[in-house]
Structure 1
Amino acid sequence: MSDETEKRHKRILYRAIHRGFKEADILIGGFARDRMDTLNEAELDAFESLLDQNDHDIYGWVLGNRPVPAEHDTALMRKLNAYALEARPVRT
């Protein structure tokens, strides 16, 4: 990994972990920690764009509680949705 890519990953990780409310920090930050190394450049671009949005909106989109705007309905969002499903405890 190049120095520039490593710096970018660190910047994205920081922004993902420090969202503004704990649930978003855990979900979005956890995704960044666990999956960022698997993202391609387009997905990293989409992730950075997503991080510019309101925390509660992102959280609602990821959990499926709010419709995802067309500009954020990307492969990255589908990966975030899948990650959220994996991370949720199953209630019986």
Structure 2
Amino acid sequence: MTHALLDQRGLSKLRWRCRRGLLENDLLIEKFFLRHEATLTVSQAKGLDDLMALSDNDLLDLLLRRKEPEQLSDSLAKESASTTEALEVLRLLRPGAPAP
């Protein structure tokens, strides 16, 4: 079930959930959607949702490779960013990620 493609309603809700306060995050997330939305799975949507639980600054640090999930100071943030799904999506979100 987790490898099933995300339906249009789920994708719409996820896009809304991914709106951020920092423009830099929004730009990287929008690039992710442009590249991957047609093939986004339920599992990847869960990973993206896990990452959206982070503060804007923690998310940006991860996206720009200034920190890895285990380096986050908040234990809940560390846990949320370290799920298998979040790590997979983080790899795809980071600049220079391979195309599908």
Whether the 8 Å CA contact 1:13–1:33 is kept in 2: the answer is no
Q: What TM-score results when the alignment is normalised by the length of structure 1?
A: 0.71
Aligned residues: 80
Deviation above 6 Å: which 4+ runs of structure 1? none
Whether the 8 Å CA contact 1:46–1:76 is kept in 2: the answer is yes
Q: List per-residue Cα deviations over 1:31-74 (Å, max 9, x = no partner).
A: 12331222222111111111121111111111100122433662
Counterparts of 2:15 and 2:30, CA distance in 1: 7
- Gaps in structure 2 of 5+ consecutive residues: 1-5, 71-81
* Residue of structure 1 in register with 2:11 after alignment: 9
Counterparts of 2:34 and 2:16, CA distance in 1: 10
Counterparts of 1:13 and 1:22, CA distance in 2: 15
Output the aligned Cα RMSD.
Answer: 2.1
- Gaps in structure 1 of 5+ consecutive residues: 87-92
Query: Structure with the greater relative contact order (CA < 8 A, sep ≥ 6): 1 or 2?
Result: 2
Counterparts of 1:11 and 1:38, CA distance in 2: 16
Identity value in percent = 20
AA of the residue aligned to 2:15: L
Higher helix share: 1
* Residue of structure 2 in register with 1:37 after alignment: 38
